[in-house]
Amino acid sequence: MTIVDTRTPNPKYFIKGATGDWEMVLGLEVHAQVTSESKLFSGSSTEFGQPPNNNVSFVDAAMPGMLPVINEECVRQAVRTGLGLKAQINKRSIFDRKNYFYPDLPQGYQISQFQDPIVGEGKIYLDMGEEGEVEIGVERLHLEQDAGKSIHDQHPNMSFVDLNRSGVALMEIVSKPDLRCSDEAKAYINKLRTILRYLGTCDGNMEQGSMRADINVSVRRPGGEFGTRCEIKNVNSVRFAGQAIEFEARRQIDILEDGGEIDQETRLFDPKTGETRSMRSKEEAHDYRYFPCPDLLPLEFDDAFIEELAKDLPELPDEKRARFINDFGLTAYDASVLVADRESATYYEAVANGRDGKLAANWVINELFGRLNKEDVAVVDSPVSAKQLGGIVDLISKGDISGKIAKDLFEIVWTEGGDPAAIVEERGMKQVTDTGAIEKIVDEIIAGNPDQVAKAQDNPKLVGWFVGQVMKASQGKANPQAVNEILKAKLGL
């Protein structure tokens, strides 16, 4: 592949070395398990967590004479994903045998796609906050079989093999080397996962191994020639990806600054030490001896097949984000947070529809998400429904309750449930906007604190003390704006 550098070096991402600045270059190969009932070339179930070797057909166990049959749903999922990545869909693609020996790969080869993948170039946009939006190129997406699992910790001198995962469909999604710092790499994994989840083509559960990343890392002088890369295999969390990249870039810089050279090698990240270590060098790299799989015809479909899938795609995160910014007046950042998963976006929309979108975003992001995170509750299990939170937002908008009381109300709804408007009514939480009542409290406080009055008249900033007193006396129910105005008038400020 010819590599084009699409990025302008960003000094914020430079790494200081003893001999000057360095820049990372990163490219990711993400393996995403396809969401499908059955495997890529057999009818066995893909269900996770089954007893070992429960989901294994003769095809998955590679019995002689068994023939693979392509699962059309997996093809649909790959095309959907390609469409979601705004990628070139290849109407003709080829399955190849990638030959290697692994105890958990009974065929002795993996059926994959090499020269002619089902999906070609696409792109993923990252919202990098202050650094703005970054476009990352996708090189290709191809379909391949997953391997089984060897189990080494069940017997003192035997290994076992579980072939449940053998033959499950994977999409390998390869980025261009367009990423320039660990935050971008983390954002890339998160964004790709979001897109896959919106599409329903991969569940994105990295802890269960249904999504994992091989991370290619090299360093260079800012904007200079690309350096030799190392590939860190099978990273299974976003946090580990960040740690592995930081460690690896530093390791390479230290070697280069000592006058050494980088060996192109495959490395493993150890979460216990936060370090990467060599797994195999390029010299030992496999010669995969790829060749077209004689058991499978080229995969071909027509435009109608693609169009039918395109028609049924859900609204994707980028489009949803643009719509939220446009319809609800949100900042790009808030919109990104809200569309990060579909459930959050749906919740937000239910709160924001027909209301002040910004106020709704504040409440959803700060109060609700803050609380859900703290208690480790998913948005779909939120004790405060979108309808209830909408009710709270309405009470604020109407001026019935202050922001402070709204937080108390949120707490009540979270723990006890109920209709917010009814709670406010029953418990007398309504904001006092009746100026007569506020004036009465103000008068009492002014009369009782002549010293403070004198001080405030010298230094108008001290009005804050009076506001505090009035709020306290009204149990937080006085309308703060009215309180301010009345105080200023009465104190002559």
**At its nearest, how many Å lie between ligand ADP and the CB of residue 26?**
6
**Considering only 23-31, 234-242, 293-301, 404-412, which stretch makes contact with ligand ADP by CB under 6 A?**
23-31
**At its nearest, how many Å lie between ligand ADP and the CB of residue 186?**
16
User: Closest CB to ligand ADP among 46 and 252?
Assistant: 252
User: Closest CB to ligand ADP among 86 and 233?
Assistant: 233
Convert residues 291-330 into a mask of x (bound to ligand ADP by CB under 6 A) and - (unbound).
----------------------------------------
**At its nearest, how many Å lie between ligand ADP and the CB of residue 233?**
11
**At its nearest, how many Å lie between ligand ADP and the CB of residue 299?**
21
Would you count residue 25 as binding ligand ADP (CB under 6 A)? Answer: yes
In whole angstroms, give the CA distance from residue 89 to residue 140. Answer: 10
**At its nearest, how many Å lie between ligand ADP and the CB of residue 296?**
21
**Considering only 22-30, 428-436, 438-446, 476-484, which stretch makes contact with ligand ADP by CB under 6 A?**
22-30
**Considering only 19-27, 71-79, 305-313, 452-460, which stretch makes contact with ligand ADP by CB under 6 A?**
19-27
**At its nearest, how many Å lie between ligand ADP and the CB of residue 284?**
14
User: Closest CB to ligand ADP among 28 and 386?
Assistant: 28
Q: Are 377 and 449 in contact (CB under 8 A)?
A: no
**Considering only 25-33, 45-53, 237-245, 480-488, which stretch makes contact with ligand ADP by CB under 6 A?**
25-33
User: Closest CB to ligand ADP among 287 and 381?
Assistant: 287
- What residues between 204 and 233 interact with ligand ADP by CB under 6 A? 216, 218, 226-227, 229
User: Closest CB to ligand ADP among 226 and 333?
Assistant: 226
Exactly one of 1, 18, 304, 447 binds ligand ADP (CB under 6 A); that residue is 1
**At its nearest, how many Å lie between ligand ADP and the CB of residue 198?**
23
User: Closest CB to ligand ADP among 28 and 393?
Assistant: 28
**At its nearest, how many Å lie between ligand ADP and the CB of residue 301?**
25
Q: Are 10 and 231 in contact (CB under 8 A)?
A: no
**Considering only 24-32, 93-101, 113-121, 239-247, which stretch makes contact with ligand ADP by CB under 6 A?**
24-32
**At its nearest, how many Å lie between ligand ADP and the CB of residue 108?**
21
User: Closest CB to ligand ADP among 172 and 275?
Assistant: 172
User: Closest CB to ligand ADP among 233 and 490?
Assistant: 233
User: Closest CB to ligand ADP among 212 and 342?
Assistant: 212
User: Closest CB to ligand ADP among 25 and 34?
Assistant: 25
Exactly one of 5, 21, 29, 439 binds ligand ADP (CB under 6 A); that residue is 29
Q: Who's near 237: CB < 8 A, 6+ residues apart?
A: 206, 207
Name the closest residue to ligand ADP (Cβ): 27
In whole angstroms, give the CA distance from residue 84 to residue 78. Answer: 10
- What residues between 164 and 193 interact with ligand ADP by CB under 6 A? 174-177
| Nearest partner of 78 among 169, 212, 203, judged by Cα | 169
Would you count residue 124 as binding ligand ADP (CB under 6 A)? Answer: no
Exactly one of 7, 28, 113, 173 binds ligand ADP (CB under 6 A); that residue is 28
In whole angstroms, give the CA distance from residue 262 to residue 230. Answer: 8
In whole angstroms, give the CA distance from residue 21 to residue 61. Answer: 52
User: Closest CB to ligand ADP among 211 and 424?
Assistant: 211
Q: Are 441 and 475 in contact (CB under 8 A)?
A: no
Label each residue of the chain as H, E or C.
Answer: CCCCCCCCCCHHHCEEECCEEEEEEEEEEEEEECCCCECCCCCCECCCCCCCCCCCCCCCCCCCCCCCCCCHHHHHHHHHHHHHCCCCECCEECCEEEECCCCCCCCCEEEECCCCCCECCEEEEEECHHHCEEEEEEEEEEEEECCCEEECCCCCCCCEEECCCCCCEEEEEEECCCECCHHHHHHHHHHHHHHHHHHCCCCCCCCCCCEEEEEEEEEECCCCCCCCCEEEEEECCHHHHHHHHHHHHHHHHHHHHCCCCCCCEEEEEECCCCEEEEEEEHHHCCCCCCEECCCCCCEECCHHHHHHHHHCCCCCHHHHHHHHHHHHCCCHHHHHHHHCCHHHHHHHHHHHCCCCHHHHHHHHHHHHHHHHHHHCCCHHHCCCCHHHHHHHHHHHHCCCCCHHHHHHHHHHHHHHCCCHHHHHHHCCCCCECCHHHHHHHHHHHHHHCHHHHHHHHHCHHHHHHHHHHHHHHCCCCECHHHHHHHHHHHHCC
Size of interface with ligand ADP, in residues (CB under 6 A): 16
Where does this chain bind ligand ADP (CB under 6 A)? 1, 3, 25-29, 174-177, 216, 218, 226-227, 229
